[in-house]
Chain A
């Protein structure tokens, strides 16, 4: 549901899910974070507070490739 909400740009729902089920999302970062990062990579969608807040919550369980992708996005 979280990934669907993120893909459909329904960020308030994604944020609510992240707040409610943070522990579940932290255990599934390998599924959840790439979707978020792919949305950030799109040029037409810039950063917004909700996405960044979700990333901030999930940052604890980042894999190296997630961190690397995030830094790459910011370097572009």
Chain B
């Protein structure tokens, strides 16, 4: 079962399998001393198989990704290697190359130490004179000729309210006019009928006088 073929073909990360097995075996070894000898043999075989597997992997990127892969507890293979003190594993050429590369890092760390400080950069390098200062531009007492206030996201709701208020006021004015005209028209009719009646009476009186 612990053949290199089994490691390579049946697992996505044989290195992880190897370190997990080593971890379990070492813990069992501490728990049950009577199994120590047998476990030592297995660990030796496991390590030998691991070297064979590493020999078969020629691409450093592949080994690097395997070494950096985390298990379900969030621990990488390298962390396990450090915890389990598998120094022979680290001395392997391929692994050593990858670890050295990781130690040196791909990031450029050249330059002055002070340049890492934001305060230093602001004081020494940052030239505000050639840049537009928003704080100065937006001072409240300055004229805003070119600035147009943008509509708010909820402007539509305001429009809706304002429209309904306008309709309400218009309907109030309409009903007011209705009442006003109703009153005056009825008053006019009343007075008209009264004046007609009075005119008729006057006509009757005048006829009586003239007769």
Question: Which residues of A are in contact with B by a Cβ distance under 8 Å?
Answer: 15, 19, 43, 46-50, 52-53, 55-56, 59, 62, 64, 67-68, 70-71, 73-76
Contacts and interface: CB of A to CB of B under 8 A. Distances in A.
B157 interface: no
Nearest to B3: A46
A49 to B, nearest CB: 6
B90 to A, nearest CB: 21
Contacts, number: 69
A49 B1 contact: no
Interface string B41-75: 11000100000000000000000000000011100
Contacts of A19: 72
A73 B35 CA distance: 13
Nearest to A64: B32
B21 A71 contact: no
B129 interface: no
A69 B39 CA distance: 12
A33 to B, nearest CB: 12
Given A47-B11, A47-B17, A49-B11, A55 B38 contact: no
Interface stretch (B23-31, B100-108, B132-140, B188-196): B23-31
Find the residue from A19, A43, A68 having the highest chain B CB count within 10 A: A68
Contacts of A62: 28, 31
The residue in B12, B16, B24, B31 that gathers the most chain A C-beta atoms within 10 A of its C-beta is: B24
B13 interface: yes
B204 interface: no
B21 A59 contact: no
Given A46-B11, A47-B10, A75-B38, A52 B24 contact: yes
Nearest to A68: B35
Given A48-B10, A53-B71, A56-B24, 13 more contacts: A49-B13, A49-B16, A49-B17, A52-B20, A53-B20, A56-B23, A59-B31, A62-B28, A64-B32, A67-B35, A71-B25, A71-B42, A75-B38
Contacts of B41: 75
B6 interface: yes
Contacts of B38: 71, 75
B1 A47 contact: yes
28 contacts: A19-B72, A46-B6, A46-B10, A46-B11, A47-B17, A48-B17, A49-B12, A49-B16, A49-B20, A49-B71, A49-B72, A52-B24, A53-B20, A56-B20, A56-B24, A59-B24, A59-B27, A59-B31, A67-B28, A67-B31, A67-B35, A68-B32, A71-B25, A71-B35, A71-B38, A71-B42, A74-B1, A74-B46
